[in-house]
Amino acid sequence: MNQPEKKILDEVATLRAELDDANYRYYVLDEPRMTDADYDRRLRRLQELEEAYPKLVRPDSPTQRVGAAPAEGFPKVAHAVPMLSLNNAFAEAELKAFVKRLGDRLERDGDELAFCCEPKLDGAAVSLVYERGQLTSGVTRGDGRTGEGITSNLKTLKSIPQKLRGKEWPERLEVRGEVTMRHAEFEAMNDKAREEGGKVFANPRNAAAGSLRQLDPRITATRPLEFTAYQLVQEMASLANIDTPTHSEQMSLLREWGFRVNPEFKVVKGACGVIDYCRDLGERRDALGYDIDGAVIKVDNLRLQRELGFVARAPRWAIAYKYPAQEKQTTLKDVKWQVGRTGALTPVAKLEPVEVGGVTVSNATLHNMGEILRLGLRIGDVVNVYRAGDVIPKVVRKVSPSRDISRNLQRRGTSLRRQGPSLRRSRPALRRWLKHGSRKPPVIAGLMRITSPSRCPVCHSQIERLKGVAVARCSGGLYCSAQRREALKHFASRRAMDIDGLGEKLIDQLVELDWVKTPADLFRLKAEDLATLPRMAQKSSDNLVAALEKAKQTTLPRFIFALGIREVGEATAANLARHFGTLDALMEAEVADLEAVEDVGPVVASHVYTFFRQPHNRETIEELRSLGLTWKEEVVGDRPQPLAGQTWVLTGTLESMTRDEGKERLQALGAKVAGSVSKKTAAVVAGPGAGSKLAKAEQMGVPVLDEQGFLERLEAWESGKEAAQ
């Protein structure tokens, strides 16, 4: 084998340093500098060089993160220091008692004590060992004393440094934290698995734990896992080396060494500080984008921590304040089939009402028939429901055959074993059904089975199910009043045509009465007719007609979005509008022209093409135009996008425009508009009433604009006078 020259050695070292740095910025600091393309190019070059000179391959090389060869099981590994559990508090009074107890024990005023507060991440706890700065071992929590060695799996996580950054780390370092998955990535992963018949996880915690216990690290590498450090392990032997007097300083050290720590981490004082933190975090829980099951409160001062010590298996100096559970058990009472805007039939579980994560849930989605089969559900089953963030609650597992059913079976003198659904038998049947696309799903043995309708429950049209997909659709199109109703709701919605006063209930009535069949019919409604409807006074009828009149002035992106073309969301609508400039150009576009638009693939292109080839769609569009619907048409060609690649956040109220208008103007300039502030945020626009987002921006040093400043910049960018910030 040829010897690498010095030049090659230098290139490899540079590539590794650049890739490590890019990973750190992306996964730990949330501040990416390198584009994905640049990252991939460097990674490929490094792979090439390592292939050409295998002697250069090192276990901590960024190329090794894709995972090594499959391993046989996992070795049991004893934790040098046991991984603790935390005592729980379920009420604010218990937090007060905790602070008071600590004050008493330490013979000082508890309200003068500093506490570190952070979200209690709901994932899989792991412990990492670094020797001379190199990651040497990663172990699951296990029973707290012994866990499983999953080092090669953990090495595939980009938020776990293989090599510590900086210098002053101790000879041996142990870091503990939680491996989690964010809601968005978890949902995307499950959606894909549902489509492909792969492994679907009940919740992000199961997904994280399951992904870490994969025997093949290459599978772990494909899972969107994230490690967040929360504890630097204090061994007596290493105490001398880590010379920080507080937990919060240790967290800063961990950050410098290359770990991600939770951005919600905060030091507060006394019982009031702790309670305020727990309340605030609880209110923002659904908006965090990841699962937490509580808040962790720790005494900040490490000397005081040592003085307080432990009781049984939990530290005296910490407590977990628990929020309501996000997964709860209830009974499946019935399944109703709902027809969506595009005709897709969704089975909706009707549940015995149950509180999940602080909200009462009585309906949950079952996605499609494939999901019902996967879960082996029958009416009457006891099921678990999961609800997190703003997403729709889901039935995630069947807990046991319900009492009702077993009683039924007893009455009939049959044994449960004979009648119980056999998942072992249903799985191959499910796979066959998915693959061959017959209309009738396989029957799982048992009573009260759930079947999918062969006719639309609303318009009785035939139900179609394409080969290889689990979704069944009503073939009725706009003949189906359910599809019409959903299409109209979408058309009128705030982000589409924004027709004030045209709510869902009213649309239901208008469709029921057959007054409105197409969006164009909306603009023909007369105030005197509307006033005859129940709950519609003359005033509200006049207002609605005025709102319809106002909505006729719209924008091209809004109009395209309002049409409700399959898989054309707001962002795609904006891209289409920008690309084609006029509706006529879009309507005449061929599939290949459509595929040339940013983020438009063959599937979306074919949906758009097919939509505009339907005579009834073209008719409706013509009618809408002749009824006076207009927008400013842009000239063909790309407008400048000075804010491309930037993420903005709008908070508080604006006087000269609504937040949605502000958002649209920013998007038109190429910016993304996000709901929460991170280090990636380019700028925050804060109007009166701005709260925690403004505070966070200031704390993170993100630029903040008031409305005046925002308007000035907008106008400069829109007129093309200014290239970028």
Active site residues: 120
In the complex, least distance from residue 673 CB atom to ligand JCF, rounded to whole angstroms:
30
- Three-state DSSP class for residue 157: coil
Residues in contact with ligand JCF, total (CB under 6 A)? 11
- The whole-angstrom separation of Cα 129 and Cα 131 is 7
The stretch near ligand JCF (CB under 6 A) out of 104-112, 113-121, 163-171, 457-465 is 113-121
First CA to last CA across the chain, in angstroms? 52
H helix runs in 30-117, sequence order: 36-52, 92-106
- Closest CB to ligand JCF among 264 and 660? 264
CB atoms within 10 A of CB 438: 11
Q: Work out the angle at residue 645's Cα, subtended by the Cα atoms of residues 643 and 648, and round it to the nearest 5 degrees.
A: 65
- Closest CB to ligand JCF among 50 and 118? 118
In the complex, least distance from residue 170 CB atom to ligand JCF, rounded to whole angstroms:
19
Task: Find out whether 443 and 581 touch, Cβ atoms under 8 Å.
Answer: no
Residues 6+ positions from 530 with CB-CB distance below 8 Å: 536, 540, 541, 544, 545
Q: Which of residues 300-359 bind ligand JCF (CB under 6 A)?
A: 315, 318
Bridge partners of 649, per DSSP, are: 674, 684
Q: Which of residues 215-234 bind ligand JCF (CB under 6 A)?
A: 230-231
Q: Which of 18, 50, 148, 178 binds ligand JCF (CB under 6 A)?
A: 178
In the complex, least distance from residue 94 CB atom to ligand JCF, rounded to whole angstroms:
18
Q: Which of 34, 66, 84, 193 binds ligand JCF (CB under 6 A)?
A: 84
- Closest CB to ligand JCF among 178 and 300? 178
243 exposure class (CB count in 10 Å sphere: 0-12, 13-18, 19+): exposed
In the complex, least distance from residue 315 CB atom to ligand JCF, rounded to whole angstroms:
6
Find where tokens 């093949």 sit. 216
Q: Which of residues 262-301 bind ligand JCF (CB under 6 A)?
A: 296
Chain centroid to Cα 606, Å, comes to 27
In the complex, least distance from residue 584 CB atom to ligand JCF, rounded to whole angstroms:
55
The stretch near ligand JCF (CB under 6 A) out of 54-62, 117-125, 395-403, 515-523 is 117-125
- Three-state DSSP class for residue 637: coil
Site string for ligand JCF, 119-148 (x = CB under 6 A): -xx---------------------------
- Phi then psi for residue 281, to 5 deg, are -65, -40
DSSP track, 654-721: -SSS-HHHHHHHHHHTT-EEESS--TTEEEEEE-TT--HHHHHHHHHT--EE-HHHHHHHHHHHHTTS
Q: Is 501 left (phi over 0), alpha (psi -120 to 50) or beta?
A: left
- Closest CB to ligand JCF among 296 and 388? 296
In the complex, least distance from residue 138 CB atom to ligand JCF, rounded to whole angstroms:
16
In the complex, least distance from residue 271 CB atom to ligand JCF, rounded to whole angstroms:
19
- Closest CB to ligand JCF among 315 and 457? 315
- Closest CB to ligand JCF among 84 and 533? 84
- Closest CB to ligand JCF among 86 and 379? 86
- The whole-angstrom separation of Cα 415 and Cα 417 is 5
The stretch near ligand JCF (CB under 6 A) out of 114-122, 128-136, 457-465, 704-712 is 114-122
Residue 208 near ligand JCF by CB under 6 A: no
Q: Which residues bind ligand JCF (CB under 6 A)?
A: 84, 86, 118, 120-121, 178, 230-231, 296, 315, 318
